[in-house]
């Protein structure tokens, strides 16, 4: 079973409450099945692991309720999260790092947020990289939007230009792996 770190769930819940308020969070909770609702109503521990199935279901309902189904909002949300995380000394560190360094670093960070999802980084030279995620299943497809947002914003902060990111092998293909294609100048 693929799992996600509680700190990612906490950040999502906090972002919903900051942006849309407690009532919006409660509205999403009310739409969840009982098992998933009980997880999100309870205490979420930052160092604990939770089912990615529960989290992706929660994200899908968040997008339905708060963004009229516009999944691109997941990308924007993850961009906001990483920008907040890369403030201060970390932001300066990323700005000094090359895009290749940033790609390796983000992939390493993702490896600490997902359990059961090995990540391989292949730098292809000349502003190209291919990141392979193994373990995501079709129902986790919404995570692709978040992953794109993390890489895009971090690369932009590092000074990369003309950043183009897409899944050349999408999560929803259900192949047991997905491949993220990254190009920049």
Asked if 30 contacts 41 with a C-beta cutoff of 8 angstroms, the reply is: no
The residue ranking higher by pLDDT, 76 or 121, is: 121
Check residue 80 and give its pLDDT: 81
Q: Which is it for the CA torsion 60, 73, 132, 50, positive or negative?
A: negative
Is 8's pLDDT higher than 60? Answer: yes
Give the best-scoring range by mean pLDDT among 84-88, 110-114, 140-144: 140-144
Architecture of domain 74-183: Alpha-Beta Complex (3.90)
* CA pair distance 73, 71, nearest whole angstrom: 5
Check residue 77 and give its pLDDT: 84
Q: Categorize the per-residue pLDDT at 129 as very low, low, confident or very high, splitting at 50, 70 and 90.
A: very high
- CATH 3.90.1520.10 residue spans of the chain: 74-183
Closest CA to 143 of 171, 163, 108: 171
Check residue 94 and give its pLDDT: 66
The residue ranking higher by pLDDT, 81 or 114, is: 114
Residue given tokens 């560190």 in the structure block: 93
Residues 57-74, mean pLDDT to the nearest whole number: 93
Is 78's pLDDT higher than 90? Answer: no
Q: Categorize the per-residue pLDDT at 65 as very low, low, confident or very high, splitting at 50, 70 and 90.
A: very high
Check residue 136 and give its pLDDT: 96
Check residue 95 and give its pLDDT: 62
**Helix ranges (DSSP H) in 3-142:** 6-20, 22-31, 34-41, 52-66, 72-85, 88-96, 99-113
* CA pair distance 42, 137, nearest whole angstrom: 26
Closest CA to 8 of 68, 69, 74: 74
Q: What is the pLDDT of residues 156-172, one digit of tens each?
A: 888 899 999 999 999 99
**Helix ranges (DSSP H) in 97-181:** 99-113, 143-157
Q: Who contacts 87 (Cβ-Cβ below 8 Å, separation ≥6)?
A: none
Asked if 182 contacts 151 with a C-beta cutoff of 8 angstroms, the reply is: yes
- Report the chain's mean pLDDT, rounded to a whole number: 91
Check residue 179 and give its pLDDT: 98
Is 101's pLDDT higher than 90? Answer: no
Q: Which helix (H) or strand (E) holds 123?
A: strand 119-123
Check residue 116 and give its pLDDT: 95
Is 121's pLDDT higher than 90? Answer: yes
């Amino acid at each position: 079973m693929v799992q996600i770190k509680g700190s990612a769930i906490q950040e999502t819940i906090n972002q919903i409450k900051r942006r849309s308020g407690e009532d919006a969070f409660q509205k999403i909770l009310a739409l969840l099945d009982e098992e998933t609702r009980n997880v999100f109503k309870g205490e979420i521990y930052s160092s604990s692991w939770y089912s990615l199935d529960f989290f992706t279901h929660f994200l899908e309902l968040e997008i339905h309720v708060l963004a009229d189904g516009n999944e691109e909002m997941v990308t924007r949300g993850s961009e906001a999260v990483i920008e907040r995380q890369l403030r201060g000394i970390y932001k300066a560190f990323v700005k000094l790092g090359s895009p290749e360094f940033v790609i390796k670093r983000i992939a390493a960070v993702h490896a600490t947020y997902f359990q059961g999802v090995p990540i391989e980084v292949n730098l292809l030279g000349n502003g190209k990289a291919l990141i392979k995620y193994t373990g995501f299943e079709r129902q986790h497809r919404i995570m692709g939007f978040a992953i794109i947002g993390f890489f895009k914003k971090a690369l932009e902060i590092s000074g990369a230009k003309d950043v183009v990111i897409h899944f050349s092998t999408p999560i929803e293909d259900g192949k047991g792996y997905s491949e993220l294609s990254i190009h920049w100048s």
